[in-house]
Amino acid sequence: MCLIVDANLAQVVLNKPSAANSAYLTLSKAVCLNRYTIFHGGKLSTEYAKCGILRSPLFIELSRSGRAIKIATGLINTHLPAANNLCRSNDQHIIALAKAAPRARVLVSDDKALQADFKNKSLVNNPRGKVYSPTRHNQSLTNC
């Protein structure tokens, strides 16, 4: 299964979650067990670098094992114009990443506007985008 983890939850999911973020503990453990592949690239990789994710031991191990895949910035940028016209959020680069990596159809983010954009059929389609919900994690990750 392929995920896009927004920078606002990257510390929680791609590092060890604290007790305060125990809702994401199941997802973090599954990532540690190599059950999911993380897609990143372009501006998202820059955001990961700013918050130190690219240097975290888990992320380095995921990259080495092929479970953290970086999509070329040029490929992401080709999808930006279409995303810019329809997005309500300020995260058009996430929508462009989803279009550039068509297997990545589950978003992990707590940004409500980005979640709405990711579920928008006009923006993410074939297959449709899903949003990970920590309260309904089994439902949001099945059949992706």
Q: Is the pLDDT of residue 96 over 90?
A: yes
Give the pair of three-digit tokens for residue 97. Answer: 């990443």
The CATH-assigned architecture of domain 2-141 is 3-Layer(aba) Sandwich (3.40)
- pLDDT confidence of residue 47: 96
Mean pLDDT of 12-32: 75
- pLDDT confidence of residue 143: 44
**How far is it, in rounded angstroms, from Cα 114 to Cα 29?**
24
- For the ranges 2-16, 92-106, 108-122, which has the lowest average pLDDT? 2-16
- pLDDT confidence of residue 43: 96
Q: How confident is the model at residue 21 (pLDDT cuts 50, 70, 90)?
A: low
Residues comprising the chain, all counted: 144
Domain boundaries, the chain: 2-141
- pLDDT confidence of residue 144: 44
Q: Is the pLDDT of residue 83 over 80?
A: no
8 A C-beta contact, residue 21 and residue 12:
yes
Alpha-helical runs (H) found in the chain? 7-14, 25-32, 43-50, 57-64, 73-78, 80-86, 92-100, 112-119, 137-141
75 compared with 127, residue with greater pLDDT: 75
8 A C-beta contact, residue 70 and residue 35:
no
8 A C-beta contact, residue 144 and residue 105:
yes
Q: pLDDT of 100-135, one tens digit each?
A: 998 898 999 999 999 999 999 999 988 889 999 887
Q: How confident is the model at residue 25 (pLDDT cuts 50, 70, 90)?
A: confident
